[in-house]
């Protein structure tokens, strides 16, 4: 199922996205009561597919990416958080801060949590996954190296494009993932190349913190990250999940 989160008359709604339009959902993506029989014909604005209480992300979860940035690969996942204010939706602009020097794209598969959970076992992890979406873990590399930790580098407003939709009922363990800049594929791999698997990620993160319904986990990026500049259009495309498109502008 492909689910959109939209704003209609200043009210947040969920809808099933089909080829012929959006079919409004009574309830939410976590509790679907019913789905409209006809597509919605009015105006709406697409939002990030969920409204998480937190954004957790993995660093160095593809070996080749770790090598290109000289990042240490640990036996446990390396995790960090991005602020909620970094979220933007499909079609919104990535804004390059005036203070930035080198801002990179990072294509990432995103796990969306289905229900509150804590200390999830690996063999039950899928019981707590609602579905998947696409993200761009936008990162300012100069600040990342300078600070020695990643909050500032990855925390600017607009630095977490997410969407366009939430996709449920798929196997995400071996999907093509790529970034396309101005029509050219600049990053490409498969999710099967992740060091830490989807169940391992959910189990580890939930062992550190309580995960709430709608929380998201960015699972890391492959090699060949690169710079974006004002005027670029960057797309994150994941097989069976979707295509997330954002333009880049200067502050």
Does one domain contain both 42 and 59? no
Q: Are 167 and 134 in contact (CB under 8 A)?
A: no
Q: Which domain holds residue 117?
A: 55-250
Ordered per-residue pLDDT tens for the chain, 251 residues: 999 999 999 999 999 999 999 999 999 999 999 999 999 999 999 999 999 999 999 998 998 887 887 777 788 999 999 999 999 999 999 999 999 999 999 999 999 999 999 999 999 999 999 999 999 999 999 999 999 899 999 999 999 999 999 999 999 999 999 999 999 999 999 999 999 999 999 999 999 999 999 999 999 999 999 999 999 999 999 999 999 999 999 99
Does one domain contain both 43 and 60? no
Does one domain contain both 40 and 152? no
Does one domain contain both 108 and 228? yes
Does one domain contain both 27 and 99? no
Give the pLDDT score at 133.
98
Does one domain contain both 139 and 26? no
* Integer CA distances (angstroms), 58 to 1, 5, 150, 196, in order: 26, 25, 11, 9
For the domain that residue 154 is a member of, what is the CATH number?
3.90.850.10
Does one domain contain both 15 and 71? no
Rounded to an integer, what distance in angstroms lies between the CA atom of residue 104 and that of residue 91? Answer: 18
Give the pLDDT score at 143.
97
Give the pLDDT score at 64.
82
Does one domain contain both 157 and 94? yes
Does one domain contain both 11 and 64? no
Does one domain contain both 141 and 172? yes
pTM of the model: 0.96
Domain count for the chain: 2
Does one domain contain both 117 and 30? no
Does one domain contain both 171 and 202? yes
């Amino acid at each position: 199922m492909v689910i959109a989160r939209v704003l209609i008359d200043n009210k947040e709604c969920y809808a099933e996205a089909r080829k012929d339009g959006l079919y409004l959902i009574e309830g939410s993506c976590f509790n679907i009561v019913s789905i409209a029989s006809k597509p919605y014909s009015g105006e709406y604005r697409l939002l990030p597919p969920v409204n998480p209480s937190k954004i957790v992300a993995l660093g160095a979860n593809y070996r080749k990416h770790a090598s290109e940035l000289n990042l240490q690969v640990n036996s446990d996942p390396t995790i960090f958080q991005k602020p909620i204010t970094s979220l933007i939706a499909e079609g919104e602009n990535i804004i390059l801060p005036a203070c930035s020097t080198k801002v990179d794209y990072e294509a990432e598969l995103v796990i969306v949590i289905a229900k509150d959970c804590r200390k999830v076992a690996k063999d039950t992890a899928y019981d707590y996954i609602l579905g998947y979406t696409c993200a761009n873990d936008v990162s300012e590399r100069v600040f990342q190296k300078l600070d020695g930790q990643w909050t500032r580098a990855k925390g600017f407003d607009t630095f977490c494009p997410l969407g366009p939709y939430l996709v449920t009922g798929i196997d995400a363990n071996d999907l093509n993932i790529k970034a396309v800049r101005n029509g050219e594929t600049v990053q490409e791999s498969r999710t099967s190349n992740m060091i830490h698997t989807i169940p391992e990620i959910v189990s580890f993160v939930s062992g550190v913190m309580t995960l709430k319904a709608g929380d998201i986990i960015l699972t890391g990026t492959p090699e060949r990250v690169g710079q974006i500049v004002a005027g670029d259009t960057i797309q994150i495309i994941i097989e069976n999940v979707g295509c997330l498109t954002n333009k880049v502008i200067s502050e």
